[in-house]
């Protein structure tokens, strides 16, 4: 799996995968010339928006550059489909259940199950939790010896934070305010969120407050059957709702005339629409897919100044068929670093690894369910990009070797049980998702304002994708898809009132 030498990361099916009457197209097949809405990209934001818009009666086309739906919500096979790995199915908040029930279907919502055993292992503490507010409060009082009043005050403060008023305080200031000098408490409260969305101590505390409160409402959840099962169920629902989907179709250009959307160009051909929702990165959408003359200079400046979030490295480990491991938790946050600081989470010299352990029960549908382990670490794109091909290979090998060494401390003799191991770096992420600098979690806070105001610059142009930390992750992306679908729905409704839309029903 070498992004530098062009090896494949995801599974590449060579044939059309689906048959029947569904409107799923490969490169050679035809799509309509005009749609009510064109969605660029099939991440969870794009898919959820497309489904909602189709259910509201609009004709919708999804164009996806890759040969798979899902964006980061993805998986890949190795060893002739003997092993399957989930890339971003580690944990999301309970809210995903409600979002899926409301905007997808009951079957999808019912497959969302709790990750009950979350562990933290680092020089400051070794704890097991179900990641609920009740258990975190208990641990803060009993293990970290914080007074109950202070813990309650902290949680109440987070619950009352207001998105529009509370943008100046940083995470660092938040933790210093409530737990001065307590690096261990900061680590306990912050490390999982850093891992979940790339936050740092210098990001606005409001982004932490929202994401942490989401997780804390009822713990961490996962999808039974794996990402492949979820995306297949979503695909079936989209097809049922008459969404047209075209894979292998990178959008090269968004067409704009007189500050209004007219369509897009994909594979050299135009497809027309008055409304485009882009699920690509916000900077790519504005600065690469559109001609700049359609935006005012202040907006362009803001777009250029958006900071990207960091990227990720992962090590994928599959056990031999006849091998198993003892239960050591489903999500295991580990660090060998004495003290917590968000910068060292990104270092090439890796000290922090979060293991997602996929015990056989998570894929009950598999004929021969096996154990897989994915070790994830946040990383800087720049560190990996500047390496020569030779150094890149060596650094990957080092990452793999050191991960096994570390895993041996949790699971003695794991080395002998491994059937397959490989790794992905920020370059792999960039190569397969088209995200600049392989950003795993979209943009920093300022990306949200640009994303939400896009349609004010160009009529009919909307964005739903990971921005502002809050609108990222499985739940954030899906919910942002819903928010933007509502915007588009009312936009189309108003146009319809004037008699210019071409909705199907
Ligand atoms: C290693 C890793 C681990 C993660 N773990 C978790 C986790 O445990 N829990 C969690 O909640 N979140 C996790 N995330 C984050 C989460 O997966 C993402 O935030 C979310 O899936 C992003 O959805 P999105 O809608 O922004 O679109 P994306 O997933 O970014 O998808 C965008 C899609 O647009 C397509 N596209 C881009 N440009 C074009 C174009 N020009 N034409 C056509 N198509 C285009 C891309 O190919 C892609 O399919 C993780 C991410 C990474 C990288």
Which of 21-35, 41-55, 463-477 comes out lowest in average pLDDT? 21-35
The residue out of 162, 186, 220 marking a domain boundary is 220
Position in ligand 1 atom list of the atom nearest CA 70: 49
Instruction: Say yes or no to pLDDT of 295 above 60.
Output: yes
Whether 90 is in a domain gets the answer yes
Residue 223's pLDDT is 97
Based on the fold, state whether residues 396 and 335 are members of the same structural domain: yes
- At residue 419, the 3 state secondary structure works out as strand
Position in ligand 1 atom list of the atom nearest CA 465: 26
Closest CA to 56 of 483, 505, 494: 505
pLDDT in tens, 328-358: 999 999 999 999 988 889 989 999 999 999 9
- Please, how many CA atoms are within 13 Å of residue 368, restricted to the half-sphere of its CB? 10
Q: Which domain holds residue 40?
A: 24-72+229-307+441-497
Expressed in angstroms and rounded, the spacing between residue 305 Cα and the centre of ligand 1 is 21
> pLDDT band at 22, cuts 50/70/90?
low
pLDDT in tens, 90-142: 999 999 999 999 999 999 999 999 999 999 999 999 999 999 999 999 999 99
Expressed in angstroms and rounded, the spacing between residue 81 Cα and the centre of ligand 1 is 23
| Percentage of the residues of the chain whose pLDDT score is greater than 90 | 80
N- to C-terminal Cα separation, the chain: 47
Whether 178 is in a domain gets the answer yes
Residue 232's pLDDT is 96
Considering only CA atoms, which residue is closest to atom 3 of ligand 1? 88
Expressed in angstroms and rounded, the spacing between residue 42 Cα and the centre of ligand 1 is 9
Higher pLDDT, 144 or 160: 144
Which of 3-12, 15-24, 450-459 comes out lowest in average pLDDT? 3-12
Residue 499's pLDDT is 55
Residue 207's pLDDT is 87
Based on the fold, state whether residues 424 and 384 are members of the same structural domain: yes
Q: What are the distances in angstroms from CA 164 to CA 160, 275, 466?
A: 12, 28, 19
Q: Is 468 in the pocket of ligand 1 (CB under 6 A)?
A: no
Based on the fold, state whether residues 251 and 346 are members of the same structural domain: no
Strand partners, 60: 37
Ranges assigned E (strand) in 168-320: 220-223, 244-246, 251-257, 260-266, 269-272, 276-278, 311-319
Mark residue 418 as left, alpha or beta (left: phi above 0; alpha: psi -120 to 50; beta: remaining).
beta
Considering only CA atoms, which residue is closest to atom 38 of ligand 1? 280
The residues near 281 (Cβ < 8 Å, ≥ 6 apart) are 308, 434, 435, 436, 439, 442, 443, 465, 466
Q: Is 314 in the pocket of ligand 1 (CB under 6 A)?
A: yes
Length of the chain: 505
What is the domain-level CATH number for residue 415?
A: 3.90.660
> What value does the mean pLDDT take over residues 472-498?
93
* 79 class by beta-carbon count within 10 Å (0-12 exposed, 13-18 middle, 19+ buried): exposed
Q: Is 72 in the pocket of ligand 1 (CB under 6 A)?
A: yes
Whether 85 is in a domain gets the answer yes
The residue out of 416, 433, 450 marking a domain boundary is 433
| Percentage of the residues of the chain whose pLDDT score is greater than 70 | 93
pLDDT in tens, 365-385: 888 888 999 999 999 999 999
The residues near 490 (Cβ < 8 Å, ≥ 6 apart) are none
Considering only CA atoms, which residue is closest to atom 27 of ligand 1? 43
Q: Which of 9, 473, 475 to mutate to test the pocket of ligand 1 (most atoms within 8 A of CB)?
A: 473
Global confidence as pTM:
0.93
Based on the fold, state whether residues 364 and 410 are members of the same structural domain: yes
Whether 17 is in a domain gets the answer no
Based on the fold, state whether residues 238 and 289 are members of the same structural domain: yes
The residue out of 433, 461, 476 marking a domain boundary is 433
Q: Is 422 in the pocket of ligand 1 (CB under 6 A)?
A: no
């Amino acid at each position: 799996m070498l992004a530098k030498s062009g090896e494949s990361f995801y599974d590449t099916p060579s044939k059309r995968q689906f048959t029947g009457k569904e409107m799923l197209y490969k490169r050679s097949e035809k799509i309509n010339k005009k749609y009510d809405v064109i969605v660029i990209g099939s991440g969870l934001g794009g898919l959820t928006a497309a489904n909602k818009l189709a259910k509201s009666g609009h004709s919708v086309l999804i164009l996806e550059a890759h040969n798979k739906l899902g964006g980061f919500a993805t998986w890949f096979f190795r060893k002739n489909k003997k092993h399957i790995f989930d890339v971003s199915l580690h944990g999301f908040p309970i809210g995903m259940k409600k979002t899926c029930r409301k905007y997808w279907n009951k079957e999808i919502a019912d497959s969302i199950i709790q990750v009950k055993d979350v562990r933290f292992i680092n020089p400051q503490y070794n704890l097991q939790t179900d990641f609920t507010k009740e258990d975190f409060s208990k641990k803060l009082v009993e293990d970290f010896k914080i007074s109950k009043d202070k813990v309650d005050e902290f949680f109440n403060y987070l619950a009352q934070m207001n998105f529009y008023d509370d943008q100046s305080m940083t995470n660092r200031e938040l933790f210093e305010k409530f737990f001065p000098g307590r690096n261990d408490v900061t680590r306990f409260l912050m490390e999982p969120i850093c891992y979940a969305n790339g936050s740092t101590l210098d990001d606005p505390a409001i982004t932490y407050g929202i994401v942490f409160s989401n997780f804390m409402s009822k713990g961490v959840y996962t999808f039974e059957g794996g990402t492949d099962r979820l995306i297949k169920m979503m695909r079936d629902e989209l097809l049922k709702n008459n969404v047209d989907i075209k894979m292998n179709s990178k959008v090269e250009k968004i067409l704009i005339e007189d500050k209004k959307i007219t369509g897009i160009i994909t594979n050299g051909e135009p497809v027309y629409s008055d409304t485009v929702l882009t699920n690509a990165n916000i900077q790519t959408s504005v600065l690469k897919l559109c001609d700049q003359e359609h935006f005012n200079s202040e907006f362009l400046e803001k777009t250029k100044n958006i900071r990207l979030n960091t990227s990720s490295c992962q090590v994928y480990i599959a056990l031999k068929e006849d091998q198993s491991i003892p239960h050591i938790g489903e999500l295991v946050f580990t660090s060998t670093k004495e003290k917590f600081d968000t910068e060292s989470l990104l270092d090439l010299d890796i000290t922090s690894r979060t293991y997602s352990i996929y015990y056989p029960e998570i894929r009950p549908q598999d004929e021969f369910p096996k154990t897989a382990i994915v070790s994830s670490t946040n990383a800087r794109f720049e560190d990996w990009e500047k390496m020569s091909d030779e150094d890149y290979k060596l650094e990957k090998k080092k990452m793999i070797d050191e991960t096994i060494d570390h895993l041996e401390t949790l699971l003695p003799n794991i080395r002998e049980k491994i059937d397959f191991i490989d790794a992905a770096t920020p370059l792999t992420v960039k190569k397969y998702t088209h995200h600049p600098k392989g950003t795993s979690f979209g943009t920093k806070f300022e990306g949200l304002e640009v994303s939400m105001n896009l349609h004010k610059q160009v009529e009919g142009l909307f964005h739903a994708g990971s921005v502002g930390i809050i609108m990222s992750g499985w739940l954030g992306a899906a919910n942002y898809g819903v928010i933007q679908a509502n915007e588009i729905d009312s936009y189309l409704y108003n146009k319809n009132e004037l008699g210019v839309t071409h909705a199907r029903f």
